[in-house]
Chain A
Amino acid sequence: MEYKVEAHRIMSISLGKIYNSRVQRGGIKLHKNLLVSLVLRSARQVYLSDYYSGACLNAAQSEREANEWDITDSEREKFPSSTTECDRVESPEEPQQTERPEKEHEHRENDDDLKSDQVDCTSTLQQEQNQNSLDSVANVSSETPPETIKEPKESPSESAVAERDSTPEANGESHQPPKTHVCSNRKRSAEETESGDSPQKRIKVASSDAEGDEEAEEMDTSNVSNLITIFGSSFSGLLSKDGAKPESETEDSGQICCDQMLKNLNPWSTAIVAF
């Protein structure tokens, strides 16, 4: 299990690097961020490879894990339509915000996926896990070879995407599309008005959003087929959330933020697209 700890540590370090790269002088260095994200992906694969083998047994536990996530009041306010699904959506907001500015457009899709993940997580987790292996394989045919392990939490999002595209089957999904759009819009405004951030960060957020607008022609956040493409691309291995870790490190509140960050790898994966 040491490699799991090691992988977890490497993931935290990588996330820290990506976060720090935002405030570095000279702008975000594409090369370094690409390398860091590759390391992060490798570490994540190792980390989750072990998890997946126990995932089917721990479906219920992972749901419990999701419930344990911190939810700040401010976040709750921003999502007045919050149901339990939305609560789970909110919880990754906090750590996500720190990674946000780099992620713009990719992040937008990730938000959608993330929310769909969590929605699925809460409602029909087990059902989807069964569907996942089939759907994810079908949908992510272009997934790069290293991504041989389909993490349960990654799959829900993929299947959610696929299902959204074709026929919404699971419970939470019928109201997903509008909610995700609403959420993503809210999330963006939430990001822009996040409290306690330095002005510098705010400027960078605004600028990265501006850049995101520039890139908007490439990425349409509401385009579901893009979401499928995202999951299909090598980069996207990072996009899915890890869902719950079997170990409940959530007891340590100091760890929670980090864990939540790790659970939501979407934000930082868009480090690359900050231009």
Chain B
Amino acid sequence: MLSLGSGGGKTAKPSFVSYVSPEEIKKENVNDELKPHLLPGELVICEANTVVKYSREDSLQRGFYGKLVCTNFKISFLSAEQLLDEVDQSYRNKLMGENDISLHCVDQIFGVYDDKKKPLLPGAVKNKIPEKLLLYCKDFRVFHFGLTYTKEEDAKRLIRVIVHHCLNPTSLKCLFAFSYVGAAGGLKVGPLGIEGEPPTIMFETKNDWRDELDRTGGLLTYRIISSNENYKISTRLPQFFAASVSDDDIKKYKGKGIPLWCWSHPSGCALLKMAAFPETVDDNSSQMDKGWIDRQLQVLGETHPLNHTIKTEILSATLPTLQEIQASYSRFKQLFLPDNAAEFWESDVKWLSVLENANWLEIIRQCLKKALDIVECLEHSTSVVLVEENCSDLCCLIASLVQVIIDPHFRTISGFQSLIQKEWVMGCHCFLDRCNLLRNNDKEVSVFLLFLECVWQLLQQYPPAFEFTETYLTILSDSMYIPIFSTFLFNSPWQRDNNQMLDEDRRMRSRSLKLPSVWEWSVQFENSVQALFYNPLYIGKPKLDRFRRTQRIKDPELNCLEIVQENVLDMPEPQRQMSLPSSPSYHSRPSPKKGFFREETDHLIKTFLGKKISRWTPTAEDHSVNNRLFYENWRSKPIDLHGLLLPLHDGPALKIWGQRYLRWIPEVQIPGGGLTTTLNKACEIIDEIKTLQTKVSQCLLKRQPSSPNTDVFTPFHQSSRLSSTFPFGTLRRQSIKPRIPVSTNLSMSFGSMENLPDDEEDLGLL
């Protein structure tokens, strides 16, 4: 049996990896046969030999030597030793190897000159070649490449190319996706989502929208709008969507100022979103706008049965601005890029306060709180209209978060992917600008990532409620930086459709040029890796979608545990939702509807236009009290994992998404530990259950004794080999050494405590 600690001192066992100290490198030992694995349409731009890749695990003292290649898609480090090593990996991305860095994944580039780290910026590459090239990636890998033994001109050229291709602005058509799809020609479109799973709804067609309206029971009140077919009205709207207004109204302001349907609550009220009008100087037109919005909301109110109240929620008024979000994320991500062990342990001392200062957790908290507010309204049968200037950033975030909280369908993999299609892709979230793929820096904001963060917090609070694992979320977040997927490449469906067809042969090849969606997971992963997306703890829902039940058959892990029931509505029945004792303050409030249409109108318009006036709804403190009550009422009942799932946002409840942020830092890897072990254990148990089930059915069917050999379960001691960062940073080292904190001079000062007698105070007697 594996003993984790044995043989710590000596590494007697020969390993695949032969570490070569830079001094040992013989220059003639250049391996020219190494060829990068190229994708269709990928071209090598330049390469350099005898580059040393220092390993962070070995405190940057040792490394491999090999060849560094830059293509129009990635930077790739090739080494004979490492190729062998890769064979052993259970987690493999078909597009990107372990030592491949997509050009869009590079976040910062540094050169080390005389042990000093200096940023390398386009246009400012010095003649002097740095000893080391440091690449910081958006997925938090940090690469240290030594160039000391590289030919000078090669190194110089390589650095220039890397800096140019990673940092210089580019244009949409130059993105690798287009050469990839072009070269692949009739690229086979893989199945959307995961084989054997219900398909991801793309919301590209009328039917998709109708089905969703139908599923949520919104069909009575809302209709499918198809007047924007071929983007006739607006390029900032999808071709089809749902709303309750007339086609004329939509045309009038190009889709602005009308409430678009997101989701319907079983009680009949709905979640909607609306783009505000841009600020106008013209008083006349602002008067017009005002009347317009009044009318729209009135129409909305009338269409709802049972006189639902309607509340507008101006997101910019209470949530942090996009600039604040990005500034915070920039600070936050820097915390997870320590250069070496010393830096790591040094920052460990003040870790908590540094984390707090980055403010990222606070922003997550505010999003969760806002979502809670809205969930509370919906649960109280109040429709909510989210308002934002473009209706494509915080609107997407809050709308989708609310739906994950309320609707268990969106906690399945296919449901979650459909949700992202509905709210983000069709909601015209500007992925291209927000991910800054073209590197015109001013618009970069990690809004989508913030959404994934919020979902991760929920997942971490209620693990059995989600069909997917954190690995799924992490991989999804990584996929944003692989510029192949149509999902993350465009600012709107219009832009996508417009760019997916090449003008010259639009008719002939328009279909074949379709870029893959990120949901075509087979583009990136084999089935064995996709299995990691499934949460073994998920309690399969016994209820199936009305229109999808036939497809939901093959969940490899969980099928056995689900009781398949046919023909049940997916939506939770009203009695499963919580029925709250209405908090008195909630009802004693003046009717929002009334207030809205009369006195408050001016105010609202001002808010719309000027965006600096506080909301007409109760003050923040009022609300947080409500919020608390709402949560506590819900919490006092047993949790229904297929019902409402309220996130807890108190200080101790919010955590760091360790898998995403800490996975490459060797100091925090727990050998043989971490959440991974629990999930693995659960998978093992499920496997055993499956084997037993087959055996039972075999026995029942054949009434024959099964082979006694099959009784023996091979215990998976694999889990002990895994580190906490599985599947990302697999343990390569033969011996596991503890990470002993470097003792830093503690800043702790205990004042008078130091002077108190130590615990042997009566030593004086001796």
Q: Do A and B bind each other?
A: no
Binding site for B on A (CB under 8 A): none
